[in-house]
Structure 1
Amino acid sequence: MDVEKRLIVNSGKGNLLNELVKSLKECESFYFSVAFVNFSGLQLLLDSLKEGQAKGVKGRIITSTYLNFTEAKALHKITTFNNIDLKVFVTDRDIGFHTKVYIFEFKECYKVIIGSSNITQSALKSNIEWNVEIISKYNAAFLRDVLKEYDTLWKSSVNADKRFIDEYEQFIKTLTTEHKVPNLIFENSEYIVPNRMQNRAMENLERVRAFGESKALVIAATGTGKTYMSAFDVKAYKPRKMLFIVHREEILKKAKETFEHLIPNRGITFGLLTGNHKDHEADYLFATIQTMSRYYTNFTQDAFDYLIIDEAHHATSPTYQTVLNYFKPTFTLGMTATPERSDHNNVFELFDNNVALEVRLHEALEDELVIPFHYFGITDIDEVDLSDIDIDDVAEVTRRLKVNERVDFIIEKMTFYGNDGVKRKCLGFCASIDHAKYMSEQFNVRGIKSIHLSGEDSVETREKFTKRLEDDTDELEVIFTIDIFNEGVDIPSVNTVLMLRPTNSPIIFIQQLGRGLRKHEGKNFLTVLDFIGNHSKTFLIAIALNGSRYYDKESLKVAIATDFANIPGATHIQMDEIAQERILAQIDQENFNSMKYLKDEYFEFKKMNEGYIPYYLVDYLKFDGAPDPVKFIDKEKTYLGFVGKTEKDDTLKALLTNEVFEKALKELSSKLPLKRIHEFVIIKFLLKHDNISIDRARREILKFVKEVDDDTILHAFECLNQDYYDSSQQNRTVKLCELENGQLYKSNAFTSLLENENYLSYLEDVLVYGIFRYEKEFKQDYYGVPHFKLFEQYQMIDAALLSNYRKTHSAFRGSGLLANGNEYFLFIDLHKEEDIDESINYKDKFIDQQFFQWQSQNSTKQSSERGKNIIMNRQRGINLHVFVRKYKELDGKTEPFIYIGTGNTVEYEGEKPITVKLELENEVPPNIYTEFVEKV
């Protein structure tokens, strides 16, 4: 057989881009023929093409003018490579051009990839595409046919020289200006439907209201459609009167237009209440807070059924509070991109801690609410040495970054990677005002029109220059800044972001990245160039890009080694080899659980909090990219204890001298992150009530989840009554609840604690944070009993709680197989400790994503009841739940297991131990599978 075949699709397992990059690195020559080439796809191949040019690899590319989809900009870029010959097949009305073939020549064979993918970012990374890879020897008839056909096409195509491309480019411009293609989107409001985010928010709002709640908050990144979501919800709710309040007038008019568009023909009047408009009688009124604060008494308190507060993080201010305390609507909705506020009042509390939805950057990418980004991590030049300084020393960092050679290097990379669209619209984030000023001066000297802006510039000045940047006819290309565009300022058409300062905060990195991700007409992707220096905090870039607040050393290393394959859609992340190695080395050396590292994280977050001490866990919900405060709890048993120790704050330490309060706070904190929400919902209810029944508990729990069973509620009552605590647990905790006659009562100790406002605030904080984080991670889904979510993290003892085990829960530890009736729990370490008894020869491993090999305990015989239950689990009604972790411990901390679902024994052999082959009922996703099996 002289031909090998393989199907390539875009999925978590891989994509066509990976195959092309790998083949370009290894081939001796290549030949492409694709119907069209867009710059969005070509940019992803530039480094591979450059590497091939350096090695003398020759290439030929044929594309076409079919349907005018090929971009002249992409053709111009290809011609800059002196090792590539470019031709274009010029189509007419009778002849179409549909080829998508990639041919690579190696020393002993050819690789041919034929399928559906053109060179666009979506076709290479995220579209549903089928491509077949065929490895063929030189003498195969198939290969001869392919090469012959390619040669025919090559001869039938014209040379794409500068003159040809210029003429084609001018023709495309003529099409788009003089003969505009009609807009084929039929924009009738009846046919505009909510996106996934909007649907989720509306479902949750409906559930919150169904249980009598009158307020809720939606947190979603800028540009994800919060205003549309609110209009859809109002359309469904049908209030008689509605009030929409915003901070800025320019937002107000857009909001009113959105509502008018989505809610037509209902006899509803829409009006404005601003400095220039006073439409008091409108049914749906859109008001600035500045004007409403002067006129609110002109309305009755119950004038509005539905109240919407946009940019709700402002709502804790006195001006907002005066207005909000006056009106008594049936329902109030808050919307914000970031639930933080400089006066440090709690936005969550303002909305009764009802968060209907939270969508941060990576979820926005997954739901395609923002555009994809192409991130290129570029090792900075040798002349910039930051290895021996504190990167918080802004003056010294600035001094070392102001290097002419670095400016040339940045411009060289900007030119090489290019940008989406005709005009470069770039934000450059700098280390200081002095650095921004220097960069704009140097760019201007080199002919790239630039300015610098800072907080010292007036709002009018900033608006003037942002409008100039967005204007296609204006020569301004770059705005250098420090942090004024981190959040709150919207420049939708930005197509390039330069990271020119050392990253010392994942929060700031994500905010700066987000400035360019807003959708805009004609904008397909954002180019991000990050110039990575040799400073000590380089690894923070990986934490920011990884997108998970809950990470460990191993998952970060795998993410880097796989070019962040877990990032959804057409987003592309690549770092050059030196940057990758530098970051991996830093991660290896760093202990993410050391007090030094945790203190650094804490103080960096405090700096983001404008220097205010973040006293509460909910403070960490303010920012995308914030640290995980549960790590601080793990270190000192309570967050309050960690802050008191870190800040050397005697007042905080004094609170913990009350033994009952300390035990209660430790007890609640030890449950984080929650794996079952029931207990916290019940305790939160008891903050304001003396007792709770099963029926009332069901009603409270159903505010957060779609379904709940009575036996699990009863089990939660029993757990809160400490029925399943061993004696040592009972000694070191305080009992908050007493179970009596089927009802749960608040204990005397708990009641006395709640009389102290400080104690109450810290206990409530743990409860609110636990419930919010549970909602974020588990959504509203019902997982049954045992209550396990696929691919979630668990410890052994969690299996006792979540399977309603009615014996001492601390017995669930130490053994690889634990059982509760017909539920068997297999806890498996893939890598054993080096000093383990050599007589134990484990063979636990993934065979592939669907099958797992596991060995029972050494004492298990096939003829024993346990042995029979394992090897004939399906026939005997035994559920084998499989939990796997890569390492037992990392950085001195016990690692959690990942639940990969149930498995069924399909093969078995041996005695004491029995080796079984399990077929998993759920295929392990590629990103999780890679993390388990990849060695970095």
Structure 2
Amino acid sequence: MPENPEPGLYDVVLSERFSQAIEKNPSLQAYIDPLEDDTGVRLLSQHLNKLIERALIGQKTARDQIALTNRLIQIIARYAPGLVQESDSATSDLLKELTTRISIGPNAPTRRPGIPLSHSELLTNASNDHRIGHELKREIESANEIDILVSFIRWSGFQLLQEALQDFIARGGSLRVITTVYMKATERRALDQLIKMGAKIKISYDTRRTRLHAKAWLIRRNTGFSTAFVGSSNLSAAAQVEGLEWNIRLSKVDAGRIIDKIEAAFNSYWEDTEFTPYDSSTESQTRFDKIVKDETPGPITILDVHPYPFQREILEKLDVERIVFGRTRNLVVAATGTGKTVMAALDYRRLTNQEKPLRLLFVAHREKILEQTHITFRAVLKHHSFGERYVGGLRPTQWNHVFASVQSLANVDLTEIDRDHFGMIIIDEFHHAAAKTYQRLLEYFRPRYLLGLTATPERADGKDILTWFEGHTAAELRIWDAIDRGFLVPFYYFGRHDGGDLSGVRWVRGRYDDKDLSKFFTADDFRARKILEAVRDHIADPRKMRALGFCVSVSHAEFMTRKFDEAEIPAACVVGTTPKKERDRALTQLRNGEINAIFSVDVLGEGVDIPEVDTILMLRPTNSATVFLQQLGRGLRHSEGKDHLTVLDFISNSSRKFRFDHTLGAMLGRASRRAIEKAVKKDFPFLPSGCAIELDRESQEVILDNLRSQLTYKAKGLERLLKDLGDQATLRNFLDEAELSIEDFYSKNLSFASLCRSAGISAFPEGPNEIQIGKRLRLLIHADDASRLNFIRRAAEGDLSVTELRERDRRQLLMLLCLLLDVEDAADLSGNYRRLLDHPAICDELISLTDLLQENITHVPSDYKIDPLIPLDLHAKYSNTEIGAAFNMVRNGKVYTIREGVKFDEATKCNLLFVTIQKSEKEYSRSTLYQDYAISPHLFHWESQNSTKADSKRGHRHTNHDALGVTPLLFVRASKRTDSGLTMPYQFLGPVAYHSHESEQPMKIIWKMECQIPADIVRTARIAA
């Protein structure tokens, strides 16, 4: 910090001296936050550290420095007894090493790294600097465990460290290596030698692209003085010795949190199915050789096909649709190139494991797709001869597992096949299903399971394919996940204000009127000039771009084509009436770079696959997230030389009814309106790797104003809306009409009962505490397990006889009542229940609310039960008060609200572990900022309370729980509060078993999950994306 105040940003405790200096300078304005109780630990310790360092420098001798240090320790020990003791006083000796005594003289000291273990340093391979290769050799000599993460490994780099690594493993060291075959740079000779030495290796076999650009070494030492190297160096001679490489050497002493994060990220990668174990077997070596030589990886049965996490999430959603909701006809929406066929094959494999035999019909409209699909299914099922094709002259003989083109099936007399012959029918590119050839199949066959796959569910002709799926999409791929996994290219999104004002354009049936919008956009050249200006600003060379522009009408598309041609950027217009030959010619010209843009009225959003497209022009506002993603997806395919997609979106002043949160939410992973508002204000700090969203100032103001208007709910306006609904004024209809989510509505301390009463349309007499109980309904909206929701409905219907309830149901009722009422005597369950029933409007609302909450169930119920008496379902959500009620924790007549991070229940011998993943220092003290995260669906890293020692009673409950008869149970939530400010409930992940641990105060424990963590929770709880 400067001696005198300078304008700029600070992050420091304000001292009296500096405060006085600011006051003396009237030209300065200070922005100050209060330093709260525990949250200032980091800043106060930094402040104190600077002062102590300054004071120590002022001492003349080491003896004086030690004396001052010990005086300070004595003072601290008086104020923090038990945490700091006078025996922590410094001596005049510096400990350098501890070795095991041997009988024949003293041990020779271990050679130390050139950089002190307690210091971090930058290495540049300069002639007068520590070389990365030389330093690694020195570091390896004192390591206990080493983890290496590099994009490629060359023999030249490996042999420079071979002897050091050989010695390290020979003395019992553990070496793990993660690498890739990206660009075919890794050499098998180096891998084989590492395996021979005793290393463990995992490889990503994707030769086309890699997510792994990090280069890091983690050197663990049992003494706690671990170090890490992070930078630009792969394991090659050039990187180790010769190159202009920059690497940071980090010390656990002064960069402990960063070292912890490196370790967490490595462990997550190690458990990721993208990285496959490599060993000395012929199978591993053959696979490696064939892949780097661009050959097929040999017999498909050697391949184990596992879903990526985002694919597993979609498969789990299909389970929910079938098992929870009974929907056996399901549509999956995912961008082209994201592995829809693999997901379908994995889904079929799961179903065949449950139901044998399950005859299959897979329908597509292109021979190439069918050939690739057939190969994929054989690989997933590990079955060489699985299935037959019906396309291009091939005809099935068995008709058990058929991969058929729709054209071939058009020639089949379907009545010769039983309607229920196929147990599962999968239709690729289901957007074609409106065609007669597909309709014929869908209307005739009656499969147990229908699965539709498409990237483009919205058709240009307006025909609704969702009619085959009860109007419902089962699962939709988050583009974040596909981009993070490298299936799609990143996008650069630029929102530019076009100077227009659409507030006067008619709003009809949830969207702008197309005719009015078209007239507005084509009235003059002003907007077109803005669009061309943006293209020239953001595209390096517009004459080399390949763009798709989505327009509102034919006249708008023709207008934009004309304006681009006039600007000497060749373009074409392709609309529904364009002849096929002309349409195909335009697409070919765009692929070849003969023209630079095609303007269309959504027709190119359906079924068109042009990977070369590198620019998307959003020239019309869309209120549909699905349409927006469909258009965005047209440019996200990989293509030679394409590293990202540029998206130019032109934003006008909008109607209050327009929903910017729909399109922004599509890019941000279906985020809530409040989360989107926060992201806009902070310039979108969290995006998929390689992506960017940039709004100009005017666009940002328009969007924020729009979001704020939607987040402001005025009771009078809602009352008018209720009156307008008349006889249709149900909770469901009200929320739909108001475009409010359940959380949006209830987070405002509103209830439907109180709103109806204010509007004068309530059909029920008012209960004595209706307003207060109504406000507490918000505490229930997280409920998401079917059995509990059914119980709540029964309770609200007055269908319970408390005296006849089983203990499990008594606790379920207590869970409900302690949320909605001020329960003074938990034992008087009958009296408290009568108090609830005295509020018929609230009970009626509860019935409606449980119906809506049933539709929000996201996980399949499990057979796992902690105890027959404890009404908690695996993967369901509960507040800490509900968990206390479920365990019958009652103190002085009241249900105990659990506030500890660890709570041991003596009655059941359950050790309850509560985890909040995304902690912030504003809500947690440094002493509770634990490192808690999912390593994989099977392993969870957890840190105990700060005071827990391994040999303490608490510590033994963690490490020796089996012997003590203790059951550790894990409850996890993403953050302390939801986007709308409500306290976030915990998700019950079930029992865990001790796997391993290191250190103490806190103990860092890895738990093994007894029940696999669902994919959506892993996504939230995983530290490495």
Offset of 1:440 from its aligned partner?
1.0
Deviations 1:708-731 (A, max 9, x none): xxxxx9876445666762697699
Pairing of 1:363-762 with structure 2 (within 5 A): 363-368=481-486, 370-380=487-497, 384-386=499-501, 392=512, 394=517, 395-396=519-520, 399=523, 402-403=526-527, 405-416=529-540, 424-454=545-575, 456-457=576-577, 460=580, 463-464=583-584, 467-469=587-589, 471-472=591-592, 475-502=594-621, 506-520=625-639, 523-532=642-651, 540=661, 543-544=664-665, 547-551=668-672, 553=674, 556-558=677-679, 561=682, 563-565=684-686, 567-568=687-688, 570-575=689-694, 578=697, 582=701, 586=705, 589-590=708-709, 592=711, 594=713, 628=741, 630-632=743-745, 671-676=780-785, 678-680=787-789, 717-718=809-810, 725=817
Q: Paired residue for 2:374, among 259, 262, 265?
A: 259
Offset of 1:326 from its aligned partner?
5.3
Offset of 1:324 from its aligned partner?
5.4
Give the equivalent residue in structure 2 for 1:230. 344
Offset of 1:323 from its aligned partner?
5.4
Change (3 A) 1:311 1:301: same
Distance in 1 (CA, whole Å) between partners of 2:307 and 2:952 is: 46
Deviations 1:363-416 (A, max 9, x none): 333444x312231425446xx243875694624355477445324413312432
Distance in 2 (CA, whole Å) between partners of 1:715 and 1:255 is: 56
Deviations 1:159-191 (A, max 9, x none): xxxxxxxxxxxxxxxxxxxxxx97445475445
Offset of 1:807 from its aligned partner?
9.1
Give the equivalent residue in structure 2 for 1:217. 330
Structure 1: runs of 5 or more not aligned:
9-34, 37-66, 70-119, 135-144, 150-180, 604-612, 621-625, 692-712, 732-737, 739-757, 833-841, 853-866, 903-915, 931-936
Deviations 1:56-100 (A, max 9, x none): xxxxxxxxxxx999xxxxxxxxxxxxxxxxxxxxxxxxxxxxxxx
Deviations 1:449-496 (A, max 9, x none): 212334x43583785256325542x61321123433445544343222
Offset of 1:335 from its aligned partner?
3.8
Give the equivalent residue in structure 2 for 1:303. 421
Offset of 1:497 from its aligned partner?
1.1
Contact 2:783-2:853 within 8 A present in 1 as well: no
Contact 2:332-2:451 within 8 A present in 1 as well: no
Give the equivalent residue in structure 1 for 2:33. none
Pair 1:770 & 2:856 matched = yes
Offset of 1:548 from its aligned partner?
3.7
Offset of 1:517 from its aligned partner?
1.9
Offset of 1:426 from its aligned partner?
1.3
Contact 2:591-2:610 within 8 A present in 1 as well: no
Distance in 2 (CA, whole Å) between partners of 1:7 and 1:850 is: 31
TM-score, scaled relative to structure 1 = 0.52
Q: How many residues align?
A: 665
Distance in 2 (CA, whole Å) between partners of 1:552 and 1:843 is: 22
Distance in 2 (CA, whole Å) between partners of 1:293 and 1:598 is: 59
Distance in 1 (CA, whole Å) between partners of 2:503 and 2:445 is: 58
Distance in 1 (CA, whole Å) between partners of 2:751 and 2:957 is: 42
Deviations 1:624-653 (A, max 9, x none): xx98554356679899999x99xx9x9xx9
Which secondary structure state, in structure 2, belongs to the residue aligned with residue 307 of structure 1? Answer: strand
Q: Percent identity?
A: 19
Change (3 A) 1:458 1:637: farther
Pair 1:360 & 2:478 matched = yes
Pairing of 1:29-108 with structure 2 (within 5 A): none
Structure 2: runs of 5 or more not aligned:
1-114, 125-150, 153-180, 184-206, 218-228, 232-241, 247-291, 723-728, 824-829, 831-843, 933-946, 959-967, 993-999, 1008-1016
Deviations 1:836-855 (A, max 9, x none): xxxxxx99434795479xxx
Offset of 1:800 from its aligned partner?
3.7
Q: Paired residue for 2:984, among 889, 896, 901?
A: 896
Contact 2:573-2:599 within 8 A present in 1 as well: yes
Deviations 1:800-844 (A, max 9, x none): 467676899994669899978366798999999xxxxxxxxx994
Distance in 2 (CA, whole Å) between partners of 1:658 and 1:322 is: 56
Contact 2:334-2:455 within 8 A present in 1 as well: yes
Distance in 2 (CA, whole Å) between partners of 1:806 and 1:148 is: 62
Contact 2:742-2:781 within 8 A present in 1 as well: no
Which secondary structure state, in structure 1, belongs to the residue aligned with residue 492 of structure 2? Answer: strand
Which secondary structure state, in structure 1, belongs to the residue aligned with residue 539 of structure 2? Answer: helix
The range that moved more, 872-881 or 372-381, is: 872-881
Deviations 1:682-723 (A, max 9, x none): 89999xxx99xxxxxxxxxxxxxxxxxxxxx98764456667
Change (3 A) 1:628 1:799: same
Contact 1:244-1:308 within 8 A present in 2 as well: yes
Pair 1:250 & 2:365 matched = yes
Give the equivalent residue in structure 1 for 2:214. 128
Offset of 1:331 from its aligned partner?
4.8
Distance in 2 (CA, whole Å) between partners of 1:281 and 1:293 is: 18
The range that moved more, 328-337 or 821-830, is: 821-830
Offset of 1:231 from its aligned partner?
4.0
Distance in 1 (CA, whole Å) between partners of 2:362 and 2:928 is: 54
Which secondary structure state, in structure 1, belongs to the residue aligned with residue 540 of structure 2? Answer: helix
Contact 2:521-2:556 within 8 A present in 1 as well: no
Which secondary structure state, in structure 2, belongs to the residue aligned with residue 571 of structure 1? Answer: coil
TM-score, scaled relative to structure 2 = 0.48
Which secondary structure state, in structure 1, belongs to the residue aligned with residue 404 of structure 2? Answer: strand
The Cα RMSD (Å) is 7.3
Distance in 2 (CA, whole Å) between partners of 1:827 and 1:195 is: 27
Change (3 A) 1:312 1:802: farther
Distance in 2 (CA, whole Å) between partners of 1:266 and 1:929 is: 39
Residue identity in the other structure for 2:573: H
Deviations 1:96-140 (A, max 9, x none): xxxxxxxxxxxxxxxxxxxxxxxx9988x8523349789xxxxxx
Contact 1:436-1:481 within 8 A present in 2 as well: yes
Offset of 1:499 from its aligned partner?
2.5
